[in-house]
Amino acid sequence: MSNERIFAAATESDVTRAIVRSFAAFLDEWSESDCVIVGGGPAGLVAGLRLAEGGARTLLVERNNYLGGGFWIGGYLMNTVTVRSPGEKLLDEIGIPHREVSRGLHTADGPHACSRLIAAACDAGVRVLNMTTCEDLVLRDDNRVSGVVINWTPVESLPRQITCVDPIALETKMVVDATGHSAAVAGHLQKRGLLSIGGCGAMNVNSSEDAVVQHTGEVFSGLVVAGMAAASVYGLPRMGPTFGGMFLSGERAARLILDGLARAKASSEPAGVGG
C-alpha cells in the first residue's frame, strides 16, 4: 500500500478555526438583512428562492437540523408528494421529475423534489441558520416587526434550572412566518394580544390551497404569513400532503415583499407589502 498523501495537510485546530471563523463571519454579515424567513418547508423555501432571485438579502431560520418540513416525507410516511396544477410549473422550472396521475394531479419523489428545491434556494443566494428557534420578535415603537430573536433549538430541551441562555437578535426589514401549523412567529404577537390566531380547520383539499394562497400576506406590520401558517392564522382548512398551494403561497409572499422593498427604497417609508 502506498504511503503517498491523498488529502491536503490540516490539523484538528485548523479544522476548528475554519468552522468558527467562517460561522462568526457569516453571523456578523447576516445580523441585518432584507428578509428573514422562519421555517424551511416548501412555502419558506419557495419564498426564499423568489426573494433571492429578486435581489433581496434573504436568511432562512429553521428549528430542525434539516430543511423541507413535510415536503421530504409526503403523507403517512410514504415519500411520494402530490402537486395540483398549476404547481407543477415550479417542478418543471427546477428540474424535478413528475408525472400526471389524473387530470391536474401530479406526483413526484419527495426526497428528490425537496433536495432540488433546497439546492435552488441556496443557489439563488438564500442563507440558512438551522437548529435555530425564533424565540421572540423585535418590535419597534411603532409596533412594527423589525427583527427576530433567536436561540439554539437544543436550549429548549435543557433542564429548567440551566436554561437561562440569552438569545440574540437579527434585524430585518420583513419577516415571513412559514412555520406551518404552529404559526410560531405569529404566536409571539398573539401572546401580546396583538394578533388573533384561528387555528387550522378540518381538511378540504379542493378549497384549502386556493384559500392559503389568497390569504398569504401581511398580518401585522413587518410580518407576512405564508403556507400553513396562513391557514392557522385565518382558520383555513388544511390540505394534507399536496404542495402546490405551498409553492404559490411562497411565491405570493415573495412578490408582495419585493414590491414593498422597492416602494421603501423609492421613499423614506419602512418596507411593507401594502394591499
b/e burial code for range 167-190 (CB count within 10 A of at least 16 → b): eeebebbbbbbbbbeebbbbbbbe
Tell which residue, 258, 185, 265, 269, has the closest CA to residue 223.
Answer: 185
User: Which triple of cell numbers denotes residue 16?
Assistant: 476548528
* The predicted structure's pLDDT at residue 57: 98
pLDDT band at residue 1 using 50, 70 and 90 as cut-offs: low
Position 57, amino acid:
R
Burial, 240: exposed, middle or buried (Cβ in 10 Å; 0-12, 13-18, 19+)? middle
The model's pLDDT over 182-235, given as tens digits with 9 standing for 90+, comes to: 999 999 999 999 999 999 999 999 999 999 999 999 999 999 999 999 999 999
* The predicted structure's pLDDT at residue 76: 92
* The predicted structure's pLDDT at residue 272: 77
Tell which residue, 47, 71, 61, 180, has the closest CA to residue 130.
Answer: 61
So where are the chain's domains?
32-263
* The predicted structure's pLDDT at residue 273: 77
The model's pLDDT over 60-86, given as tens digits with 9 standing for 90+, comes to: 999 999 999 999 988 999 999 999 999
Tell which residue, 146, 171, 166, has the closest CA to residue 155.
Answer: 166
Please tell me the least confidently modeled range out of 7-16, 39-48, 140-149. 140-149
Residue indicated by cell numbers 428573514: 36
- CATH class for domain 32-263? alpha beta
**Other C-beta atoms lying within 10 Å of the C-beta of residue 109:** 16
Burial, 22: exposed, middle or buried (Cβ in 10 Å; 0-12, 13-18, 19+)? exposed
Distance CA 118, CA 8 (A): 30
